[in-house]
Structure 1
Amino acid sequence: MYAIIATGGKQYTVSEGDEIKVEKLGIDAGETVTFDQVLFVSNGTAVVGDPTIAGATVTATVVVEGKGRKIIVYKYKRKTGYHKKNGHRQLFTKVKIDKINA
């Protein structure tokens, strides 16, 4: 059984027991979070939402919050002496999928 959920402007394919990194949710480690934007559920038969499935939820436990690896952004224009170097670390929340309620 797997489902497609939407959170943080992105879509994730999940099944029970998976650990995924989503955009920062601001929830402490060990707490439970419920995703109610379920777009698709497959349990032998496929159920497609329009755009979401009414009453379907995915329950997950927060494992940890952290920062991703550093991305270097370098801007450069030739012949003008212009260059700028920036770094960015995206915040994330790692969750473990407990149950898919279809």
Structure 2
Amino acid sequence: MNTYAIIEAGGEQLQVQPGRFYDIRLNVPVTEFWENRKIVFSRVLMIRSESNTFLGKPWLEHATVNGRIFHPRRGNKLIIYKMRPKKHTSKKNGHRQTFMRLIIDSIFFNNQNL
């Protein structure tokens, strides 16, 4: 079985594996210098490595997940349509959520690369 970790990022929990891409919500403005910037997640809830499982209460101490921001992207457009009955008024609005696509480089636990 592959090594994976469950982290908390962007208000949600993600199951991540080294070498894979993930989209997370970050509430920061999108700028040019974000690409190839290293990011470290210290809120690791669980690590599974071969036959070993480590659980945190609520987070694991001395556990980090290292990754790089690949590029910012935007999600699909959501249409918000509000209509007031019997008033002949309506309002149509749209929204696109900003995501950061990142690649996970490594999972560390007790200063060992898993």
Same fold (TM over 0.5): yes
Question: Structure 1 length normalisation: TM-score?
Answer: 0.92
SS in 1 for 2:61: coil
Which ranges in structure 2 are unaligned for 5 or more consecutive residues? Answer: 110-114
Q: Deviations over 1:19-75 (max 9, x none)?
A: 000113556111110000000111122111000000100000110012212111111
How far apart, in 2, do the equivalents of 1:75 and 1:55 lie? 49
How far apart, in 2, do the equivalents of 1:8 and 1:62 lie? 14
How far apart, in 2, do the equivalents of 1:13 and 1:75 lie? 36
Corresponding residue of 2:47? 41
Corresponding residue of 1:53? 60
**What are the residue-to-residue correspondences of 1:21-36 with 2, within 5 Å?**
21-24=23-26, 28-36=34-42
Question: Structure 2 length normalisation: TM-score?
Answer: 0.83
Corresponding residue of 2:70? 63
Percent of aligned positions with the same letter in both sequences? 33
Q: CA deviation at 1:77?
A: 2.6
How far apart, in 2, do the equivalents of 1:83 and 1:62 lie? 40
Opposite residue 17 of structure 1, the aligned amino acid is G
Corresponding residue of 2:103? 96
Which of structure 1's runs of 4+ aligned residues deviate more than 6 A?
Answer: none
Q: CA RMSD in A?
A: 1.4
